[in-house]
Amino acid sequence: MTRDLKQDLQEITSGFADGKIFLIFETNTWNLCWPLIRDFRLVPDTNILVLKPGEENKTIEQVMEVWNVLGSASADRSSLVINIGGGMLTDLGAFAAGTLKRGLACINIPTTLLAMVDASAGGKSGVNFRGLKNEIGVIRQPLHVFLYLPFLRTLDRENLLSGYAEMLKAGLIADRHLWEELKVFDLNGYDEEELERLIWRSIEIKTAVVEEDPEEHGIRKSLNFGHTIGHALESESMHVGHPLAHGYAVAYGMVKEALLSHHKLGLPMAAVDDIRKAITLLYGEPPATLSQSDILLEWMKFDKKNRNNRINFSLIDAIGSCRVDIEASIEEIKEALK
Mean pLDDT value of segment 27-39: 89
What CA dihedral angle connects 234, 307, 119 and 290, to 10 degrees? 10
User: 133, 154, 175: which is the final residue of a domain?
Assistant: 154
Rounded Cα distance between 144 and 303, Å, is 29
Rounded Cα distance between 38 and 140, Å, is 27
Please tell me the predicted confidence (pLDDT) of residue 308.
67
Into how many domains does the chain fold? Answer: 2
Please tell me the predicted confidence (pLDDT) of residue 301.
87
Please tell me the predicted confidence (pLDDT) of residue 37.
86
Whole-number average pLDDT of the chain = 93
Residues 266 and 221 in one domain: yes
Q: At what angle do helices 246-265 and 227-239 cross, to 10 degrees?
A: 140
- Compute the C-alpha angle 91/108/39, nearest 5°: 130
Mean pLDDT value of segment 238-251: 92
What CATH number should be reported for the domain holding residue 56? 3.40.50.1970
Residues 162 and 26 in one domain: no
The range of the structural domain enclosing residue 308 comes to 157-337
User: 154, 172, 192: which is the final residue of a domain?
Assistant: 154
Cβ neighbour number for residue 238 with a 10 Å cutoff: 20
Of 91-100, 245-254, 282-291, 318-327, the poorest mean pLDDT is in 282-291
Residue 105 clears pLDDT 90, i.e. is over it: yes
Helix (H/G/I), strand (E/B), else coil: 127: strand
Task: Evaluate if pTM is beyond 0.75.
Answer: yes
Rounded Cα distance between 299 and 235, Å, is 7
User: 154, 173, 191: which is the final residue of a domain?
Assistant: 154
Please tell me the predicted confidence (pLDDT) of residue 38.
87
Q: What are phi and psi of 310, to 5 degrees?
A: -110, 135
The H or E element containing residue 79 is none
Mean pLDDT value of segment 169-196: 95
Residues 129 and 269 in one domain: no
Rounded Cα distance between 224 and 247, Å, is 12
Residues 313 and 196 in one domain: yes
Confidence of residue 216 (pLDDT cuts 50, 70, 90): confident
Residues 167 and 149 in one domain: no
Confidence of residue 121 (pLDDT cuts 50, 70, 90): confident
Nearest Cα neighbor of 116 from 59, 49, 196, 173 is: 196
Per-residue pLDDT reduced to its tens digit, 287-296 = 888 888 899 9
What CATH number should be reported for the domain holding residue 231? 1.20.1090.10
Per-residue pLDDT reduced to its tens digit, 324-338 = 999 999 999 999 998
